[in-house]
A = this chain, B = another copy of it.
Amino acid sequence: MNDVAAAAGVALKTVSRVVNNEPGVNAATAERVLAAIERLGYRRNDSARILRRGRTASIGLVIEDVADAFYSSLSRAVEDAALHHGYLLFTGSSREDSARERDLVLAFCARRVDGLIIVPAGTDHGYLKPEFDAGIKAVFADRPPGAGCEADTVLCDNAGGARAGTAHLIAHGHRRVAFLGDSPGIFTAAERLRGYREALAAAGLPYDEGLVVMGPPDPARLRAHLTRLLAASEPPTALFTGNGRITVETLRVLATLTDAADAGPTGGLALVGFDDFELADLLGVTVVAQDPARLGRTAADLLFMRLAGNDEPTSRIELATRLVPRGSGERPPPPRGNRTAR
């Protein structure tokens, strides 16, 4: 900027005014300055600008994994909102690691982002205290913050969705419905399990721990568990899968586990999955759909409201889910006599 000023024969401040389109600069002078800028290939240094102004016009987004369809669609929605407000976006994946979540958040804060959208991996957010004191705004998405951390939160109705999905299977005659969920330490997984249990209870069915599998969606693990489940003396006639990854991996396992002659990709078993996924329509898989884009949009809206100065008490929004019947969830159990024939 100094060089530009020298080249144009004006003061530093005048260049600043031109660069920022501030009024009060003679058209001819501005012209000269612009020419100098062009000639020298000058670009404003936003680091200095940020330092001086105190606002960065950027926000940070911490998710679990960009490569996952759910989060990438959430990201896209946040990015759209950021673009719309003229903000730049930092992104980072926590890999379900709370230390990494913290490191990312603190790195973003050190860059003085104005706000954060966090899909928390950990359950302790005490480390955010100094940041909040410093005026940083944060919105939690998909999962709530740890105890003692007051912040806006946007969730899906996980329990409600799982309840509806399980009830759907029960309504189609199933009495032994297995639940395949992610690690119970994950908020959404625990909530969905809760919904599943509520649906069983509401139907007067017993909760059978033998029908419940919780853990990361590792193909080998899932295969072992499914094999065991289906070989049991009283195998489940229906599956409720707790997230998109698990649903997909389950479909894969079922495809190799059951005879190709079996009808449909679920090999005769009824199945409802939490999370919609690409091509579920073609495969005829009934799902409880969340709307990740809406989740991201809502979180971003909330954040930009805060950034605009709104300081109402924090809110906790729960977005509804939607049951999408596509065939796999409407399949009745096999006739009684066949029950153990597998």
Stretch at the interface among A62-70, A142-150, A198-206: A62-70
- The one of B51, B79, B111 in contact with A66, judged by C-beta atoms closer than 8 angstroms, is B79
- Say how far A259's CB is from chain B's closest CB, in angstroms: 15
A13 at the interface (CB under 8 A from B): no
Cβ B46 vs Cβ A111 within 8 A: yes
Interface residues on A, range: 35 or more
**What residues of B have a CB within 8 angstroms of the CB of A190 in the complex?**
none
Interface residues of A in 262-287 (CB under 8 A from B): 265, 277-279, 281-283
Cβ A66 vs Cβ B66 within 8 A: yes
Known: A46-B110, A76-B66, A282-B255. A88 touches B88 (CB 8 A): no
Cβ B66 vs Cβ A72 within 8 A: yes
A91 at the interface (CB under 8 A from B): yes
Cβ A130 vs Cβ B265 within 8 A: no
A184 at the interface (CB under 8 A from B): no
Stretch at the interface among A37-45, A158-166, A175-183, A229-237: A37-45
B-facing mask of A29-61, CB < 8 A → 1, else 0? 000000000000111111110110000101000
Interface of A is mostly: helix
Interchain CA distance A277-B278 in the complex, whole Å? 9
- Say how far A281's CB is from chain B's closest CB, in angstroms: 7
A301 at the interface (CB under 8 A from B): no
**What residues of B have a CB within 8 angstroms of the CB of A88 in the complex?**
90, 92, 107-108, 111
Can you name 10 A-B pairs with beta carbons within 8 Å? A45-B110, A46-B110, A51-B51, A69-B278, A72-B75, A76-B93, A79-B92, A79-B93, A83-B92, A278-B278
Closest 5 A-B residue pairs measured CB to CB?
A41-B130, A67-B76, A72-B72, A46-B110, A47-B50
Please report A residues at the B interface, Cβ cutoff 8 Å: 41-48, 50-51, 56, 58, 65-69, 72-73, 75-76, 79, 83, 88-93, 106-112, 129-131, 133-134, 248, 251-252, 255, 265, 277-279, 281-283, 293
